[in-house]
Every structure is written in structure tokens, then in C-alpha cells.
Amino acid sequence: MFSTTNLSTRSILTNGNNTVSCIHAAGQALTAVDWSGSSGKVAAEFTVDAIATGANGSVGFGWVDASTVDFNLAIAQGYAFTERPSNTSESHFKIKLGSTHSLFGSPVSAGDVITIYLDLDNGFGYLYINGIAQNGADPTSGAAGTGNMWDFPTGATYYIVVAPNNPNGVSSQITINSPHNYVSVSGYTDL
């Protein structure tokens, strides 16, 4: 089972199934899976339970360098996939270090399952939605990084993070799945 340690509006998931929910006004509940690593290959899976409506309602999934993480800004400091339904021109996008930002993958809604695959040895992250590779992702492609969502520096230690963003006191909500609903790619360890 998962237990949660609160860091103000942030938290760290430890093990099992736990739901991350943001219910305070105009805030973001950033959560790091209780794992960090600098080598190997890992997979983390999440279910989107709800996405808040409104200008900033969103859910984000990604990873961040543990040495620089600020739990207020981690998605902006890291590498992520975000769904923001209110942005009709770019509802589903990837963001890198808070600046590089582009349309990516399929739209996500409540009930969808997101899987992040991190190849820490080669410095690539991959996105699956409902068990379907996005952008032709091939997490087994090694140094080629075929279909990766983002490349990132190797050798650093990373956290996997999720961020349900909540405007107007309406909750976005994410559940971490353990065990996973989808069979993971060979060579990856499920978190």
C-alpha cells in the first residue's frame, strides 16, 4: 500500500496504490514517486481520475533532476507531458525545462492510463497512453532513442513526478498504479 508524506501541498509516494489529489484553491499538488535513480531502466504508471476544468486545470507527468528539484517548480524544471483541456490549440503537450513546449501525443481524459519509461543509461524518456506508444516510442531502442519524448543528461539522479493542477478549488486527481495495468516493456523495472 502507498503512504504519503506531505511537503506542504507536495508529497512523496512510497509504495502500493495512492491517489494524488489537489483540492486547494489555485494550487498544484506535486508528488514524487519514492524512487530516485541515475542508472537502469524504470517504468511508472498512473491513472488520470479527474482533470479540473478552468483556465489552468491540468495533469502533468514527468521526471526531474533530483539535485535541482524545487517542489514548487519541478515540472517547469524537468521534462514532462501535460494535458490541459482548456487550451484547445495545444491541449496535450510536452515541456522541457520550462521553455521548450510543443504539441505531443494523444489527448488525455479521465480514465486514461499514462506510462512513463525512463532509460537512465541512454538518457531518454518515453510516453505511452493506454498501453499505446506515443510518437513511435521504442523504449528498447537504446542509444538510438527512437520516438523518445525527451532526451536528458545521463549521470544525474532523477525523480519521477506527477502534478495535478487545480484552479478554483476543483480537484484534478491522479492515482499511481502498482501493480501496473499494462505489461511493461522488456528490460524495464516497474515502480
pLDDT level of residue 6 (50, 70, 90 thresholds): very low
60 within some domain: yes
Q: Which of 107, 109, 141 is nearest to 125 (CA)?
A: 141
Task: Say yes or no to pLDDT of 171 above 70.
Answer: no
For 69-126, the pLDDT digits (tens) are 554 444 556 787 877 777 766 678 787 776 767 888 888 888 999 999 999 999 999 9
| The pLDDT of residue 142 is above 80 | yes
DSSP state of 97: T
pLDDT of residue 70: 54
Among 28-32, 104-108, 124-128, 170-174, the range with the most confident prediction by mean pLDDT is 124-128
Tell me if residue 18 falls in helix, strand or coil.
strand
Pairing of strands 172-176, 79-83: unpaired
Q: Residue 183 has what pLDDT?
A: 86
Range of the domain at 32: 4-36+48-112+154-183
- Residue 108's closest CA among 44, 167, 63, 172? 172
Cell of 16: 502500493
Query: How many domains, the chain?
Result: 1
Query: Whole-angstrom Cα distance, residue 121 to residue 144?
Result: 12
Closest of 69, 19, 75 to residue 48, by C-alpha? 19
Whether pLDDT at 32 is above 80: no
**Triad 118, 124, 128: Cα angle to 5°:** 60
Among 131, 135, 129, CA closest to 147: 135
- Is there a domain that residue 140 lies in? no
pTM for this predicted structure: 0.82
In a domain, 26, yes or no: yes
What band does 23 get if pLDDT is binned at 50, 70 and 90?
very low
CA distance 191 to 180: 9
Rg (CA), the chain: 15
The verdict on residue 16 lying in a domain is yes
